[in-house]
Amino acid sequence: MKPIVRFDKVTKSFGDTVILRDFDFELTPGERVVLMGPSGSGKSTVLRILMTLEDIQDGVVYIDDEPLWHEGVGNNLKPASDKHLRKMRGNVGMVFQHFNLFPNMTVLRNIIEAPMKVLKLSRKEAEARADELLARVGMSDKREAYPNSLSGGQKQRVAIARAMAMRPKLLLFDEPTSALDPEMVGDVLQVIKDLAAEHDLTMLIVTHEMGFARDVADRVCFFCDGQILEQGAPSKIFTDPAEDRTRQFLRMVLHEEPASEAS
């Protein structure tokens, strides 16, 4: 199957600090991939490049065989215009670690604003879409509430609905539960699991929740120093990793979050 995402020798650096070097990576449509690894290893950067929040210095990123950060074909690529980036961004949605709901809008407004203003849906269509999603994430009763009155877990569930309302082909989750109190984590992970079961959208998830990864992921990629050190099915990576670094990291994560095994 044609990959939905392809990184071809991508280099990303901040000043002198190289985050990704000659990075290659592929996602097939419908695949659920979990990215793990120490902080600063480049896993969130992969998501942020795909969401066009960070540009790249070298190489090409393709979404559905079309260059994301470039325009043109073959070797004749030039940097993408704002128009091209806007078109490409329509394929991708993102759920952030800190939710980033708009505090000046109600829950409903947070969800319908972009479908109405960007996708030009009518208010009726946008609300129908929002209500269905709110029901799906268990937040229907908070439709008219403002984000500041919600708990972290509730905010994240709304943020997931907001991203889904744009009907992306590819949904990115950047540590969706790291900013949550422990008792909220399960709810949010359950919502993501349900979405994964009901939709065939492609998901790329940065998380350290191993129990969740085992349930949802087709593939786990272990990041180290801007490279994928090893990857494979969660059962393989979690029980019998080939690399010492992976083993060390997993032991550390298990120690920090004993609850994640149980979930």
Partner 1 sequence: MGVTFDQIIDALLQGAYVTIWITLASTVGGAILAFASGIGSLSHFAPARWLSKTYVQIFRGTSLLVQLFWLYYALPVLIGIHISPVAAGILGLSLNIGAYGAEVVRGALQSVDEGQLEAARALNFTPGQTLRRILLPQSIIEMMPPFGNLAIQNLKDSSLVSLISLSDLAFQADDLRNRAFESDTITILGLTLLFYFVMALVLMGAMRLLERYFEKVSGREVAR
Please tell me the distance from the alpha carbon of residue 123 to that of residue 248, in angstroms, as a whole number: 51
Residue nearer to partner 1 on the CB measure, 105 or 121 = 105
Sign of the CA dihedral 182, 133, 159, 218? Answer: positive
Q: Of these, 2, 98, 123, 247, which contacts partner 1 (CB under 8 A)?
A: 98
Q: Work out whether 145 is an interface residue with partner 1 (CB under 8 A).
A: no
Q: Work out whether 94 is an interface residue with partner 1 (CB under 8 A).
A: yes
Please tell me the distance from the alpha carbon of residue 52 to that of residue 114, in angstroms, as a whole number: 17
Q: Of these, 7, 62, 69, 96, which contacts partner 1 (CB under 8 A)?
A: 96
Q: Of these, 11, 28, 100, 263, which contacts partner 1 (CB under 8 A)?
A: 100
Q: Work out whether 92 is an interface residue with partner 1 (CB under 8 A).
A: yes
Q: Work out whether 121 is an interface residue with partner 1 (CB under 8 A).
A: no
Please tell me the distance from the alpha carbon of residue 177 to that of residue 247, in angstroms, as a whole number: 23
- Percentage helix, strand, coil, to 5, in the chain? 40, 25, 35
Site map 154..183 versus partner 1, x via CB under 8 A: --------xx--x-----------------
Q: Of these, 89, 142, 155, 157, which contacts partner 1 (CB under 8 A)?
A: 89
Residue nearer to partner 1 on the CB measure, 42 or 93 = 93
Q: Work out whether 86 is an interface residue with partner 1 (CB under 8 A).
A: yes
CA distances (Å), 173 to each of 2, 117, 180, 263, in order? 22, 24, 14, 18
Contact, 189 vs 3, CB < 8 A?
no
Q: State in angstroms the smallest separation of the CB of 98 from partner 1.
A: 5
Site map 34..73 versus partner 1, x via CB under 8 A: -----------------xxx--------------------
CA distances (Å), 39 to each of 57, 79, 80, 95, in order? 21, 29, 29, 18
Q: Work out whether 123 is an interface residue with partner 1 (CB under 8 A).
A: no
Q: State in angstroms the smallest separation of the CB of 162 from partner 1.
A: 7
CA distances (Å), 241 to each of 69, 97, 260, in order? 34, 27, 19
Residue nearer to partner 1 on the CB measure, 97 or 263 = 97
Q: Of these, 18, 60, 105, 254, which contacts partner 1 (CB under 8 A)?
A: 105
Q: Work out whether 17 is an interface residue with partner 1 (CB under 8 A).
A: no
Which of 244, 161, 240 minimizes the C-alpha distance to 199?
161
Please tell me the distance from the alpha carbon of residue 93 to that of residue 105, in angstroms, as a whole number: 19
Q: Work out whether 104 is an interface residue with partner 1 (CB under 8 A).
A: yes
DSSP 149: G
Residue nearer to partner 1 on the CB measure, 165 or 184 = 165
Please tell me the distance from the alpha carbon of residue 123 to that of residue 102, in angstroms, as a whole number: 18
Which of 123, 120, 124, 143 minimizes the C-alpha distance to 133?
143
**Where along the sequence are the contacts to partner 1 (CB under 8 A)?**
51-53, 86, 89-90, 92-94, 96, 98, 100-105, 113-114, 117-118, 146-148, 162-163, 166
